[in-house]
Protein backbone atom coordinates (compact mmCIF):
# COMPACT_ATOMS: atom_id res chain seq x y z
CA UNK A 1 0.00 0.00 0.00
CA UNK A 2 1.41 3.39 -0.98
CA UNK A 3 1.21 6.18 1.62
CA UNK A 4 2.24 9.80 1.05
CA UNK A 5 4.62 10.93 3.78
CA UNK A 6 3.42 14.52 3.90
CA UNK A 7 -0.31 13.84 3.95
CA UNK A 8 -1.62 10.32 4.47
CA UNK A 9 -5.14 9.59 3.24
CA UNK A 10 -6.68 7.97 6.32
CA UNK A 11 -9.64 6.74 4.27
CA UNK A 12 -7.41 4.12 2.64
CA UNK A 13 -5.48 3.09 5.76
CA UNK A 14 -7.08 -0.14 7.09
CA UNK A 15 -8.17 -0.32 10.70
CA UNK A 16 -5.50 -2.94 11.35
CA UNK A 17 -3.06 -0.02 11.55
CA UNK A 18 -4.38 0.87 15.02
CA UNK A 19 -2.59 -1.10 17.72
CA UNK A 20 -4.11 -2.58 20.88
CA UNK A 21 -3.11 0.38 23.01
CA UNK A 22 -5.28 2.76 20.98
CA UNK A 23 -8.15 0.26 20.89
CA UNK A 24 -8.08 -0.13 24.66
CA UNK A 25 -8.16 3.66 25.06
CA UNK A 26 -11.15 3.82 22.72
CA UNK A 27 -12.78 1.28 25.02
CA UNK A 28 -12.15 3.49 28.05
CA UNK A 29 -14.15 6.24 26.35
CA UNK A 30 -16.90 4.17 24.75
CA UNK A 31 -17.50 1.10 26.94
CA UNK A 32 -19.25 2.90 29.84
CA UNK A 33 -22.96 3.39 29.16
CA UNK A 34 -23.50 7.12 28.90
CA UNK A 35 -26.83 8.92 29.04
CA UNK A 36 -25.32 12.16 27.77
CA UNK A 37 -22.71 11.20 25.15
CA UNK A 38 -22.80 8.45 22.52
CA UNK A 39 -21.24 5.16 23.65
CA UNK A 40 -20.06 2.01 21.85
CA UNK A 41 -23.62 1.03 20.88
CA UNK A 42 -24.07 4.18 18.83
CA UNK A 43 -20.73 3.56 17.12
CA UNK A 44 -21.66 -0.08 16.36
CA UNK A 45 -24.97 1.04 14.87
CA UNK A 46 -23.17 3.50 12.58
CA UNK A 47 -20.87 0.65 11.52
CA UNK A 48 -23.88 -1.33 10.31
CA UNK A 49 -24.35 -3.85 13.12
CA UNK A 50 -27.98 -4.82 13.76
CA UNK A 51 -29.82 -4.79 17.07
CA UNK A 52 -29.27 -8.46 17.93
CA UNK A 53 -25.59 -8.32 17.11
CA UNK A 54 -25.16 -5.25 19.31
CA UNK A 55 -27.00 -6.88 22.23
CA UNK A 56 -24.68 -9.86 22.09
CA UNK A 57 -21.61 -7.66 22.45
CA UNK A 58 -22.85 -6.48 25.86
CA UNK A 59 -21.47 -9.55 27.59
CA UNK A 60 -17.95 -9.19 26.20
CA UNK A 61 -15.06 -7.86 28.27
CA UNK A 62 -14.63 -4.82 26.02
CA UNK A 63 -17.56 -4.30 23.62
CA UNK A 64 -15.68 -1.55 21.80
CA UNK A 65 -12.69 -3.77 21.01
CA UNK A 66 -14.96 -6.64 19.94
CA UNK A 67 -16.95 -4.39 17.62
CA UNK A 68 -13.77 -2.97 16.07
CA UNK A 69 -12.36 -6.46 15.50
CA UNK A 70 -15.53 -7.77 13.82
CA UNK A 71 -16.02 -4.58 11.78
CA UNK A 72 -12.45 -4.89 10.55
CA UNK A 73 -13.04 -8.54 9.60
CA UNK A 74 -16.26 -8.11 7.67
CA UNK A 75 -16.11 -4.66 6.02
CA UNK A 76 -13.78 -3.59 3.23
CA UNK A 77 -14.30 0.07 4.17
CA UNK A 78 -13.18 -0.41 7.79
CA UNK A 79 -10.48 2.24 7.71
CA UNK A 80 -9.03 4.72 10.17
CA UNK A 81 -10.64 7.56 8.24
CA UNK A 82 -14.05 5.90 8.39
CA UNK A 83 -13.70 5.35 12.15
CA UNK A 84 -12.86 9.01 12.71
CA UNK A 85 -15.83 9.99 10.56
CA UNK A 86 -18.15 7.78 12.65
CA UNK A 87 -16.87 9.32 15.88
CA UNK A 88 -17.61 12.75 14.42
CA UNK A 89 -21.09 11.63 13.33
CA UNK A 90 -21.99 10.45 16.84
CA UNK A 91 -20.58 13.73 18.22
CA UNK A 92 -17.62 12.25 20.08
CA UNK A 93 -15.17 14.89 18.96
CA UNK A 94 -13.60 14.66 22.42
CA UNK A 95 -12.31 11.20 21.53
CA UNK A 96 -11.00 12.40 18.17
CA UNK A 97 -9.18 15.31 19.78
CA UNK A 98 -7.65 13.20 22.57
CA UNK A 99 -6.66 10.13 20.55
CA UNK A 100 -5.89 11.61 17.12
CA UNK A 101 -2.17 12.06 17.91
CA UNK A 102 -1.89 8.40 18.95
CA UNK A 103 -3.79 7.27 15.85
CA UNK A 104 -1.59 9.39 13.61
CA UNK A 105 1.49 7.80 15.16
CA UNK A 106 0.10 4.29 14.57
CA UNK A 107 -0.70 5.20 10.97
CA UNK A 108 2.80 6.62 10.46
CA UNK A 109 4.38 3.39 11.75
CA UNK A 110 2.03 1.27 9.67
CA UNK A 111 2.82 3.15 6.48
CA UNK A 112 6.52 3.03 7.21
CA UNK A 113 6.36 -0.72 7.70
CA UNK A 114 4.36 -1.11 4.49
CA UNK A 115 6.90 0.96 2.58
CA UNK A 116 9.85 -1.08 3.86
CA UNK A 117 8.20 -4.47 3.57
CA UNK A 118 9.49 -6.76 0.84
CA UNK A 119 6.83 -7.90 -1.62
CA UNK A 120 5.82 -11.55 -1.08
CA UNK A 121 7.23 -14.06 -3.51
CA UNK A 122 4.80 -15.15 -6.26
CA UNK A 123 1.87 -13.54 -4.40
CA UNK A 124 0.45 -10.15 -5.48
CA UNK A 125 0.27 -7.53 -2.75
CA UNK A 126 -3.17 -7.45 -1.16
CA UNK A 127 -4.52 -4.42 0.65
CA UNK A 128 -7.41 -5.10 3.01
CA UNK A 129 -8.90 -1.66 2.35
CA UNK A 130 -9.26 -2.22 -1.41
CA UNK A 131 -12.43 -4.04 -2.56
CA UNK A 132 -11.68 -7.52 -3.82
CA UNK A 133 -13.63 -9.75 -6.17
CA UNK A 134 -16.40 -11.58 -4.34
CA UNK A 135 -15.17 -14.95 -3.10
CA UNK A 136 -17.26 -17.27 -0.98
CA UNK A 137 -15.52 -19.10 1.85
CA UNK A 138 -16.75 -22.47 3.05
CA UNK A 139 -18.26 -22.37 6.54
CA UNK A 140 -19.63 -25.91 6.91
CA UNK A 141 -17.99 -29.30 6.63
CA UNK A 142 -19.45 -30.22 3.23
CA UNK A 143 -19.34 -26.69 1.78
CA UNK A 144 -17.82 -26.25 -1.66
CA UNK A 145 -16.50 -22.66 -1.97
CA UNK A 146 -16.56 -22.99 -5.75
CA UNK A 147 -20.03 -24.50 -5.94
CA UNK A 148 -23.46 -24.05 -4.41
CA UNK A 149 -23.56 -23.47 -0.63
CA UNK A 150 -24.49 -26.40 1.59
CA UNK A 151 -28.18 -26.23 2.53
CA UNK A 152 -30.06 -27.81 5.44
CA UNK A 153 -33.62 -28.67 6.39
CA UNK A 154 -33.17 -27.18 9.85
CA UNK A 155 -30.70 -25.38 12.09
CA UNK A 156 -30.64 -26.91 15.59
CA UNK A 157 -30.43 -24.35 18.39
CA UNK A 158 -29.23 -26.08 21.56
CA UNK A 159 -26.97 -25.69 24.58
CA UNK A 160 -24.12 -28.07 25.29
CA UNK A 161 -25.87 -29.81 28.23
CA UNK A 162 -28.66 -30.94 25.90
CA UNK A 163 -26.37 -32.55 23.35
CA UNK A 164 -27.53 -36.08 24.21
CA UNK A 165 -31.00 -35.08 23.07
CA UNK A 166 -29.52 -33.59 19.89
CA UNK A 167 -27.80 -36.94 19.21
CA UNK A 168 -31.14 -38.69 19.49
CA UNK A 169 -32.66 -36.13 17.13
CA UNK A 170 -29.90 -36.88 14.62
CA UNK A 171 -30.62 -40.62 14.85
CA UNK A 172 -34.39 -40.18 14.49
CA UNK A 173 -34.44 -37.60 11.72
CA UNK A 174 -31.24 -38.15 9.70
CA UNK A 175 -30.57 -41.87 10.02
CA UNK A 176 -34.11 -43.12 9.37
CA UNK A 177 -36.46 -43.03 6.39
CA UNK A 178 -36.93 -39.28 6.84
CA UNK A 179 -33.36 -38.58 5.61
CA UNK A 180 -33.48 -34.97 6.81
CA UNK A 181 -30.35 -32.83 6.87
CA UNK A 182 -29.77 -31.02 10.14
CA UNK A 183 -27.25 -28.26 10.83
CA UNK A 184 -25.62 -29.09 14.16
CA UNK A 185 -23.08 -26.39 14.99
CA UNK A 186 -20.50 -28.54 16.79
CA UNK A 187 -20.60 -31.18 14.05
CA UNK A 188 -21.08 -29.22 10.82
CA UNK A 189 -19.52 -25.76 11.21
CA UNK A 190 -15.84 -25.16 10.49
CA UNK A 191 -13.82 -23.35 13.19
CA UNK A 192 -12.13 -20.01 12.71
CA UNK A 193 -14.78 -17.43 11.77
CA UNK A 194 -16.96 -15.08 13.81
CA UNK A 195 -19.61 -17.24 15.46
CA UNK A 196 -22.35 -14.59 15.22
CA UNK A 197 -21.73 -13.98 11.52
CA UNK A 198 -21.74 -17.71 10.71
CA UNK A 199 -24.87 -18.35 12.77
CA UNK A 200 -26.75 -15.50 11.11
CA UNK A 201 -25.90 -16.74 7.61
CA UNK A 202 -26.86 -20.32 8.42
CA UNK A 203 -30.22 -19.39 9.92
CA UNK A 204 -31.14 -16.80 7.31
CA UNK A 205 -29.74 -18.29 4.09
CA UNK A 206 -28.80 -21.95 4.54
CA UNK A 207 -31.55 -23.52 6.70
CA UNK A 208 -35.25 -23.76 5.89
CA UNK A 209 -36.22 -23.84 9.55
CA UNK A 210 -34.76 -23.65 13.07
CA UNK A 211 -35.51 -26.16 15.81
CA UNK A 212 -35.05 -24.66 19.29
CA UNK A 213 -34.24 -27.23 22.00
CA UNK A 214 -35.77 -25.82 25.19
CA UNK A 215 -34.55 -26.58 28.72
CA UNK A 216 -33.53 -24.70 31.87
CA UNK A 217 -29.98 -24.59 30.53
CA UNK A 218 -31.20 -23.11 27.24
CA UNK A 219 -32.48 -20.09 29.19
CA UNK A 220 -28.94 -19.35 30.43
CA UNK A 221 -27.27 -19.59 27.02
CA UNK A 222 -26.33 -16.31 25.29
CA UNK A 223 -25.80 -18.16 22.01
CA UNK A 224 -29.27 -19.75 22.13
CA UNK A 225 -30.81 -16.40 23.02
CA UNK A 226 -29.18 -14.77 19.99
CA UNK A 227 -30.14 -17.58 17.62
CA UNK A 228 -33.77 -17.61 18.76
CA UNK A 229 -34.24 -13.86 18.58
CA UNK A 230 -32.50 -13.64 15.23
CA UNK A 231 -34.76 -16.36 13.81
CA UNK A 232 -37.85 -14.61 15.21
CA UNK A 233 -36.75 -11.36 13.61
CA UNK A 234 -36.78 -13.11 10.22
CA UNK A 235 -40.27 -14.55 10.65
CA UNK A 236 -42.44 -12.23 12.78
CA UNK A 237 -45.72 -13.86 13.67
CA UNK A 238 -44.14 -17.28 13.04
CA UNK A 239 -45.18 -17.31 9.41
CA UNK A 240 -44.18 -20.40 7.41
CA UNK A 241 -43.53 -22.30 10.68
CA UNK A 242 -39.84 -21.47 10.40
CA UNK A 243 -39.20 -21.64 14.15
CA UNK A 244 -40.11 -24.84 16.02
CA UNK A 245 -39.60 -25.11 19.81
CA UNK A 246 -39.05 -28.56 21.31
CA UNK A 247 -39.10 -29.06 25.07
CA UNK A 248 -36.52 -31.77 25.71
CA UNK A 249 -36.83 -32.28 29.50
CA UNK A 250 -38.85 -31.07 32.50
CA UNK A 251 -38.19 -27.46 33.48
CA UNK A 252 -38.12 -25.61 36.80
CA UNK A 253 -37.92 -22.20 35.16
CA UNK A 254 -40.71 -20.50 33.20
CA UNK A 255 -40.98 -21.38 29.52
CA UNK A 256 -39.51 -18.52 27.42
CA UNK A 257 -42.24 -15.94 26.88
CA UNK A 258 -41.16 -15.11 23.32
CA UNK A 259 -42.01 -18.70 22.28
CA UNK A 260 -45.26 -19.19 24.17
CA UNK A 261 -47.39 -18.31 21.15
CA UNK A 262 -45.91 -21.23 19.18
CA UNK A 263 -47.13 -24.83 19.23
CA UNK A 264 -44.30 -26.81 20.80
CA UNK A 265 -43.06 -30.35 20.49
CA UNK A 266 -42.99 -31.90 23.96
CA UNK A 267 -40.48 -34.70 24.56
CA UNK A 268 -41.20 -34.75 28.31
CA UNK A 269 -44.47 -36.72 28.00
CA UNK A 270 -43.62 -40.42 27.60
CA UNK A 271 -46.98 -41.34 26.06
CA UNK A 272 -46.56 -38.90 23.15
CA UNK A 273 -42.77 -39.07 22.80
CA UNK A 274 -42.79 -41.45 19.84
CA UNK A 275 -45.15 -39.17 17.94
CA UNK A 276 -42.80 -36.21 18.31
CA UNK A 277 -40.36 -37.41 15.64
CA UNK A 278 -43.11 -38.12 13.11
CA UNK A 279 -44.68 -34.69 13.62
CA UNK A 280 -41.31 -32.93 13.59
CA UNK A 281 -40.15 -34.75 10.46
CA UNK A 282 -43.38 -33.87 8.64
CA UNK A 283 -42.99 -30.18 9.51
CA UNK A 284 -39.33 -30.07 8.48
CA UNK A 285 -40.11 -31.82 5.20
CA UNK A 286 -42.63 -29.21 4.13
CA UNK A 287 -41.50 -26.51 1.66
CA UNK A 288 -41.05 -22.97 2.89
CA UNK A 289 -40.47 -19.58 1.31
CA UNK A 290 -36.92 -18.33 1.85
Q: Using one digit for the tens of pLDDT, what is the confidence trace for 139-179?
A: 898 887 777 889 999 999 999 999 999 999 999 999 889 89
Structure confidence at residue 151 (pLDDT)? 93
In this structure, are 216 and 161 located in the same domain? yes
pLDDT confidence band for 104 (50 / 70 / 90): very high
When mean pLDDT is compared across 4-13, 85-94, 228-237, the lowest value belongs to 4-13
pLDDT band at 268 (very low <50, low <70, confident <90, very high): very high
Q: What is the mean pLDDT of residues 28-51?
A: 89
Average pLDDT taken over every residue of the chain? 84
- Whether residue 168 sits in one domain with residue 98: no
- Residues 156 and 276 occupy one common structural domain: yes
Contacts of 37 (CB under 8 A, 6+ apart): 91, 92, 94
Q: Kindly indicate the confidence band of residue 6, based on its pLDDT and cuts at 50, 70 and 90.
A: very low
Q: Are residues 189 and 234 in the same domain?
A: yes
Query: Is position 1 within any domain?
Result: no
pLDDT for position 2: 39
Q: Domain tally for the chain? A: 2
Q: For 226-252, what is the mean pLDDT?
A: 81
More confident residue, 131 or 95: 95
Q: What digits encode the pLDDT tens for the residues 214-235?
A: 999 999 998 999 899 888 887 6
Q: Is the pLDDT of residue 267 over 60?
A: yes
187 & 233 share domain: yes
Q: Which of 63, 96, 116 finishes a domain?
A: 116
Residue 132 domain-assigned?
Answer: no
Q: Which of 5-9, 105-109, 258-262 has the lowest mean pLDDT?
A: 5-9
In a domain, 290, yes or no: no
Write the DSSP symbol of residue 5: S
Q: Residue 112: what pLDDT? A: 81
Predicted structure pTM score: 0.55
Q: What is the DSSP letter of 153?
A: E
Please give the radius of gyration of the chain, using alpha carbons only, rounded to the nearest integer: 23
Confidence of residue 75 (pLDDT cuts 50, 70, 90): confident
Q: Given phi > 0 = left and psi -120 to 50 = alpha, else beta, which region is 274?
A: alpha
Residue 120 has a pLDDT of 44
- The pLDDT of residue 253 is 92
User: Smallest Cα–Cα separation from 227: which of 241, 247, 213, 248?
Assistant: 213
The Cα 145–Cα 137 span in angstroms is 5
Q: What pLDDT is recorded for position 7?
A: 61
127 pLDDT above the threshold of 90: no
Provide the residue range defining the domain that includes 90: 10-116
> Same domain, yes or no, for 162 and 268?
yes
Pick from 233, 215, 237: which is nearest to 224 by CA? 215
- Measured in whole angstroms, the distance separating CA 105 from the mean position of its chain's CA atoms is 32
Question: Residue 121: what pLDDT?
Answer: 44
Q: Do 99 and 210 fall into the same domain?
A: no
Q: Which of 12-26, 65-79, 111-125 has the highest mean pLDDT?
A: 12-26
Amino acid sequence: MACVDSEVDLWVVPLVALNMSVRKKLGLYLNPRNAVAADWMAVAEEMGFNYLEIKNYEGTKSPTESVLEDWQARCTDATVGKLLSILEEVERRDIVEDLRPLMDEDVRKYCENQKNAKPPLQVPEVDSCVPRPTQRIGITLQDDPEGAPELFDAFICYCQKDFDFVREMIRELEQTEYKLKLCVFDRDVLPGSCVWTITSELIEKRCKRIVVVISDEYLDSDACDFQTKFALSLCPGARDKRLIPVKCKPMTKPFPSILRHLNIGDYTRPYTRAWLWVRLARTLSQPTFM
